[in-house]
Amino acid sequence: MAILPILKYPNPTLITPAVPVTEFNESLQVLAKDMLETMYSAPGVGLAAPQIGELLQLVVIDVDFKMDYDDDGVLPPRYFNKKPRILINPKITSSSGQHTSEEGCLSFPKLYTEISRANYIEIEYQDLQGKFRKEIHKKNLLTICIQHEIDHLNGILMIDRCNPLERQRIIDSMKVHK
């Protein structure tokens, strides 16, 4: 497995819509595993393929994992409670309600903003073998994360979901952090 570089705003790939995955092969499995390793090491709870420069409709999510370091902080972190999810060609088929919470993004390091999202979603996606699946999620971090990562597949960034003043604050912060 490999840790891949994560693209940062304003890289234009981040606003380019991804194309559907049509081949469910070993290359896709390797990419998904590399994306999980990248996400865990960042650390983050979700990562979309466009964030690592691959314009494919593929996201990896794990809102349950925990990490811990050895006593002196020298060794790499240990991960516990991993429950990775791999969603291919995901679509939100129904949504309702609204909830506002603070979100961050690996493409906007160390920046957070309030975003309103649906608090109930129904999704359809394919797994690594191409099998179609349906799920319902409501009022939890996974619900928010799925919506955030699907936005990435459509070229929508968290700054597209916040108010204009907050958007400008985040853009200005990214210029400072370059």
pLDDT at position 159 is 95
Mean pLDDT in residue range 104-121 = 96
Percent pLDDT > 70 in the chain is 89
Annotated active-site positions, please?
149
Q: Is residue 5 situated within a structural domain?
A: no
Please give the average per-residue pLDDT across 160-171, as a whole number: 92
Q: What is the pLDDT of residues 136-150, one digit of tens each?
A: 999 899 999 999 999
Between CA 108 and CA 105 the distance in angstroms is 5
Q: What is the pTM of this model?
A: 0.91
Q: What one-character DSSP code corresponds to residue 12? A: G
- Asked whether residue 92 is assigned to any structural domain, the reply reads yes
Mean pLDDT of the chain: 91
* Range(s) of the domain holding residue 146: 12-176
Is residue 120 in some structural domain? yes
Query: Quick one: pLDDT band at residue 64, thresholds 50, 70, 90?
Result: confident
Residue of 8, 15, 38, 172 lying closest to 105 (CA atoms): 8
Tokens of 175: 């210029």
In a domain, 2, yes or no: no
Domain count, the chain: 1
Would you state the pLDDT for residue 111? 93
In a domain, 47, yes or no: yes
Write the CATH number for 137.
Answer: 3.90.45.10
Is position 168 within any domain? yes
Q: What is the pLDDT of residues 69-85, one digit of tens each?
A: 556 666 555 555 579 99
Q: Is residue 20 part of a domain?
A: yes
Structure tokens at 67: 């990490």
At residue 68 the predicted structure's pLDDT band, cuts being 50, 70 and 90, is low
Contact 100, 90 (CB under 8 A): no
Contact between 90 and 124 under an 8 Å Cβ cutoff? The reply is yes
Task: Find tokens 């359809």 and name the residue.
Answer: 124
Whether residue 3 is contained in a domain is answered as no
